[in-house]
Amino acid sequence: MFKYVKFLSLALLLMVAALPTALAAETNPNATEVQVSGNYQEDITPDIAYINLGTVTEAETVAAAQAKNAAVSTNIRQQLESLGIKDEYIKTAHYEVTPIYNNDDNGRRTPTIKGYQITNSILVTTLPDKAGDVIDSALNAGANQVNNIRFGKKDEDGVRNAALAQAVRNAISKADAIAAAINKRVVRVKAVHENGVNFDSPEVATRLYSKGLANAMQATPISAGLVMLSANVQVIVELE
């Protein structure tokens, strides 16, 4: 039994020792390795909008600031629901309590707190053609921040994957052209590296509104336009 195990171990060692030679034999010394980039770009029509709205309230105590903020936030939700936006499409994005300090402490080392500020931001998901109505309703209901608006696609993963596939095809096409120019052909793909898929959707920068300004505003025109989708990959191929 011991001799059999010893023989088997020796056979395995010989196989492992011969493995690099076998692998080297599979590699064609005349093969050429080429790295190419693949790109894809398309303007697409967005079918969804993400709107970040905020409510900032201040009071002498945390409880009072929270109460004011809660009342405004409830009013905003009710107004949005009246537009047909269901509760599951309105979610809290950010909630923060910040102390407000006195600026006239006359050089005191420990500044005193004169009040508190509550910042409550919500993310509203809606159709692009309803974006203007959502903003107007929220501002009229008491919101005083429009943080940003982003347009995209509902099936974002599917759109991204399709763009990546197109970018890979573009890279292989380039590799085929290079191979033909030197009388070779692509025989295998050795590696593919994703460099990113991006939705280039213009975002509205942070804006602050007073309640009086919101009441005086006309209807907000929001146009989604087209969203640029781009994908980029790096592909390494072998030519023979």
CATH at 81:
3.30.70.2970
158 found inside a domain: no
Confidence of residue 221 (pLDDT cuts 50, 70, 90): confident
Confidence of residue 103 (pLDDT cuts 50, 70, 90): confident
DSSP symbols for 146-161: EEEEEEE-TTHHHHHH
More confident residue, 143 or 22: 143
Q: What is the mean pLDDT of the chain?
A: 83
102 found inside a domain: yes
191 found inside a domain: no
- DSSP E strand boundaries for 60-184: 90-101, 113-126, 145-152
Q: What is the pTM of this model?
A: 0.71
Confidence of residue 23 (pLDDT cuts 50, 70, 90): very low
Percent of the chain residues past pLDDT 90, beyond the cut: 67
At 39-53, the pLDDT tens digits run: 999 999 999 999 999
More confident residue, 10 or 44: 44
Sign of CA dihedral 178, 180, 182, 185: positive
Average pLDDT over every residue of 140-168: 93
Which of helix, strand or coil describes residue 162? helix
Strands ordered across the beta sheet of 32-44: 32-44, 227-239, 186-200
The pLDDT of residue 6 = 42
188 found inside a domain: no
239 found inside a domain: no
Domain containing 133 equals: 46-153+202-223
Average pLDDT over every residue of 172-178: 96
178 found inside a domain: no
Residue 206 has pLDDT above 90, yes or no: no
The pLDDT of residue 9 = 41
Average pLDDT over every residue of 163-179: 96
What is the number of structural domains in the chain? 1
Residue 12 has pLDDT above 60, yes or no: no
71 found inside a domain: yes
**Cα–Cα–Cα angle for 197, 202, 205, rounded to 5 degrees:** 125
